[in-house]
Structure 1
């Protein structure tokens, strides 16, 4: 099953989820191994993820439903931006970010 890529830890449907830290190298390996579907809603976020993972991750504003057993790599900003903010690439880098592995268990 392809791995989803999200720009936030959001439950896309009812279910039981497990969220844990994942480092960049492990995220890359998982995406190369299983393939991926981008559900990244902002261009600057897609650019930051692409550069960090050294992969071409396109912006793709879709309504995505994570399936049972499906994994997702989640881009997680270090702080929550102000309401209504659309961050530039430079602002994303200044805030900082990490990645999470989000698995839908049920």
Structure 2
């Protein structure tokens, strides 16, 4: 499988490089189907976030502080907190659950 076209998984709807992107809601079931079908590259930089995603998808999504660059045509599943945490915060798992989160599908078109 082409590594560059595996689904990226990262925290925050951040453009990882210049391009044209579309961001839309995706539910857990559809996100899990997408990553199971295409494989994934984890760019989750915090252990507690990786644990929350792993539990949501009922599969191991490891923490990996890589420098991910989304390619044209590549999809990403993005972990999105429901509100912004205080500056400099590194949230524990309990705090993540208290804030709440959802997932977004981020597609790069050009």
TM over 0.5: yes
| 1:80 correspondence with 2:84 | yes
Match of 2:70? 66
Match of 2:109? 105
Q: How big is each residue's C-alpha offset from its partner over 1:33-55, in whole Å with a ceiling of 9 and x where there is no partner?
A: 00000000000000000001101
Of residues 24, 27, 36, the one that matches 1:32 is 36
Of residues 24, 35, 40, the one that matches 1:20 is 24
Instruction: Return the offset for 1:16.
Output: 0.2
Instruction: Return the offset for 1:73.
Output: 0.1
Distance in 2 between the 1:55 and 1:15 partners? 30
Task: Name the Cα RMSD after superposition.
Answer: 0.4
Which aligned runs of 4 or more in structure 1 are off by greater than 6 angstroms?
none
**TM-score where L is the length of structure 2:** 0.96
**TM-score where L is the length of structure 1:** 0.99
The size of the alignment, in residue pairs, is: 106
Q: How big is each residue's C-alpha offset from its partner over 1:32-89, in whole Å with a ceiling of 9 and x where there is no partner?
A: 0000000000000000000011010000001111000000000000000011000000
Gaps of 5+ in 1: none
Instruction: Return the offset for 1:19.
Output: 0.1
